[in-house]
């Protein structure tokens, strides 16, 4: 089943927003073993849209269309689709009443232009949208089946999973089923991961792909089988084999298992707490930790100790230590981690101090030099790393190293130096 993903909107072509819908839809199409052959984007221009619809119908079996279902004058997808394939626009009264009820729930009167969202090409099938006011539709043409969905990601995601995928399964009929997942790794390069898995027996019907998403690398096993159950079983066996080979390099699976999510779960399971003392990361570490729902159960708090005075007064870093070694040093990172652990009453203290750039470096302490400290009841450690990036990525990878270090401690694993850094000592 050959597929095309077509996104519509001036804002996409002008670069005002990142077109994440393409990657999401392509990922979901893997689950029905659809072969995504084309990605395309067009302006909110009737002539361009007509051309895109005709091209897609001439080369694809399935076309997933995102965007242009709203109530404003530049939302033209449904009208142009109907005109392109010679269909009349028909008002669906049930949809119209649901739109009015939607606005009534908020005590608002529906604007006249919202009524256009109840119009569909004759012969199309309506796809309900429980997240918003723009229903989608499925239209079969002589060349292809078109699925029109909203451009708002939250609305598109649910419509794709609940309305489109079951219909694609039916269109596909008998044949192979595919199942895939993402295994998230941190600390080894993409090519090294590939080499590490070269001789691994993944079982019948399984292929591997690799992807970089700084600062992580993803391993993507894809399994095919005669049934969904067979494909899922093959995928599970392959994932087990990969995790056995890579060990703690694999820290999570899927889109939602971020490093902070995984660490939070481990802390909660073990009844442990954490506190942070940040200099060069300026609160980014605490922000990542608190982005996880329920973080109050394991996160005690943090101190952004950007100046030496705050390091001394709030964290108890000895002034003599700062004078002798400087703020960006192993002894100060260790003292910061121990200080925040003791003052906030946490099981673990993490610290970050460094030179993120673009200025502030020297021959002795260049831009990208970072120290991460970790303290628990028994040990205080600090490590130095030298990152080669610009300021935002230096800060981002520093937080990833810090979170991963505590994760590994909880698992009884040794900390590793990320591939992005080299040790100075």
pLDDT at 315: 98
Per-residue confidence at 420, pLDDT binned at 50, 70, 90? low
Torsion 146-148-149-151 (CA) sign: positive
| Per-residue model confidence as pLDDT tens digits over 148-202 | 999 999 999 999 999 999 999 888 766 678 888 999 999 988 888 999 999 999 9
pLDDT at 421: 60
pLDDT mean over 391-408: 96
C-alpha pair distances (Å), 297 with each of 47, 241, 264, 289, 294 = 56, 33, 9, 11, 6
pLDDT for 419 beyond 70: no
pLDDT for 425 beyond 60: no
pLDDT at 401: 95
Per-residue confidence at 309, pLDDT binned at 50, 70, 90? very high
The candidate with the shortest Cα–Cα distance to 411, out of 296, 263, 208, is 263
Q: CA-to-CA distance for 316 and 307, rounded, in angstroms?
A: 13
User: Which residues are paired to 221 by β-bridges?
Assistant: 208
pLDDT for 350 beyond 90: yes
pLDDT mean over 221-246: 94
User: Which stretch of 95-109, 151-165, 318-332, 354-368 has the lowest confidence by average pLDDT?
Assistant: 95-109
pLDDT for 285 beyond 90: yes
pLDDT mean over 345-365: 95
pLDDT mean over 235-248: 96
- All structural domains of the chain, each given as residue ranges with its CATH number in brackets, are 2-173 (3.40.980.10), 178-253 (3.30.70.2860), 259-411 (3.90.950.20)
| Per-residue model confidence as pLDDT tens digits over 358-386 | 999 999 999 999 999 999 999 999 999 99
pLDDT at 417: 59
């Amino acid at each position: 089943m050959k597929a095309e993903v077509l996104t519509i909107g001036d804002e996409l072509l002008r670069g005002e927003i990142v077109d994440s819908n393409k990657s999401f839809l392509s990922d979901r199409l893997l689950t029905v073993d659809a072969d995504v052959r084309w990605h395309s984007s067009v302006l909110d221009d009737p002539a361009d849209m007509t051309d895109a619809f005709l091209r897609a119908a001439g080369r694809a079996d399935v076309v997933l269309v995102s965007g242009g279902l709203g109530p404003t004058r530049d939302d033209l997808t449904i009208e142009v689709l109907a005109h392109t394939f010679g269909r009349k626009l028909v008002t669906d009264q049930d949809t119209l009443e649901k739109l009015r009820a939607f606005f009534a729930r908020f005590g608002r009167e529906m604007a006249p232009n919202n009524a256009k969202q109840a119009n569909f090409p004759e012969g199309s099938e309506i796809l309900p949208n429980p997240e918003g006011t723009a229903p989608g539709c499925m239209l079969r043409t002589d060349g292809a089946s078109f699925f029109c969905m909203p451009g708002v990601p939250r609305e598109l995601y649910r419509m794709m999973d609940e309305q489109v995928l079951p219909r694609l399964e039916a269109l596909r009929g008998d044949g192979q089923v595919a199942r895939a997942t993402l295994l998230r790794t941190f600390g080894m390069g993409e090519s090294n991961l590939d080499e590490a898995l070269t001789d691994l027996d993944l079982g019948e019907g399984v292929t591997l792909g690799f992807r970089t998403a700084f600062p992580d690398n993803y391993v993507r096993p894809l399994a095919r089988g005669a049934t969904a159950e067979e494909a899922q079983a093959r995928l599970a066996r392959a994932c087990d084999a990969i995790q056995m080979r890579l060990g703690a390099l694999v820290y999570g699976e899927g889109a939602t298992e971020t490093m902070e999510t995984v660490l939070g779960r481990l802390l909660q399971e073990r009844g442990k707490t954490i506190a942070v003392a940040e200099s060069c990361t300026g609160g980014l570490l605490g922000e990542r930790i608190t982005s996880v729902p329920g973080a109050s159960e394991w996160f005690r708090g943090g101190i952004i100790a950007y100046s030496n005075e705050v390091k001394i007064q709030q964290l108890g870093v000895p002034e003599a230590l700062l004078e002798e070694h400087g703020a960006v040093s192993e002894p100060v990172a260790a003292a910061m981690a121990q200080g925040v652990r003791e003052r906030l009453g946490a099981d673990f203290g993490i610290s970050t101090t460094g030179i993120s750039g673009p200025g502030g470096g020297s021959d002795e302490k260049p831009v990208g030099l970072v120290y991460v400290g970790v303290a628990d009841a028994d040990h205080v450690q600090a490590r130095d790393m030298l990152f080669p990036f610009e300021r935002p990525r230096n800060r981002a990878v520093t937080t990833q190293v810090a979170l991963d270090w505590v994760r590994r401690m909880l698992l009884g694993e040794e900390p590793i130096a990320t591939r992005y850094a080299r040790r100075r000592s």
